[in-house]
Amino acid sequence: MNTEKATEAQGVDLDLSGLKCPLPVLKARKALRDYDDGAEVSVRVNDPKAPADFRALCDTVGHELLSLVAEPGGHRLTLRVHNP
């Protein structure tokens, strides 16, 4: 797994490809705690169940799902972090 942080202006990319449910959403949830409120995080996943898991995460924790795009071999999600 390749996890990379960048400045808020550049966004953030978490590559969670290769992980199976529920690991992508669990690892993302932990990583998102380290980011400032309002940061945009781009996440790559290839588990077919991950999009539903990320929607549930956003509903539960309060992050905002900005986009969900199908890519070859998986999906790319963009989240806006909400950390009170």
Residue 5 lies in a domain: no
Lowest-confidence range among 8-17, 38-47, 54-63? 8-17
Strand 74-80 relative to strand 64-71, pairing: antiparallel
User: What number is the average pLDDT over the span 51-63?
Assistant: 97
- Check which CATH number belongs to the domain holding 34 and give it: 3.30.110.40
Residue 82's identity, in one-letter code, is H
Quick one: tokens of 39?
A: 């940061």
Percentage of the chain surpassing pLDDT 90?
81
| Residue 23, phi then psi, degrees to nearest 5 | -60, -40
Residue 7 lies in a domain: no
Q: Which of 13, 21, 26, 61 is catalytic?
A: 21
pLDDT for position 13: 85
Number of domains composing the chain:
1
Query: What is residue 36's DSSP assignment?
Result: P
58 is catalytic: no
Residue 2 lies in a domain: no
Domain extent, residue 31, equals 12-80
Question: Which of 30, 11, 71, 76 has the alpha carbon at shortest distance from 50?
Answer: 76
DSSP SS3 for 30 = helix
Residue 46 lies in a domain: yes
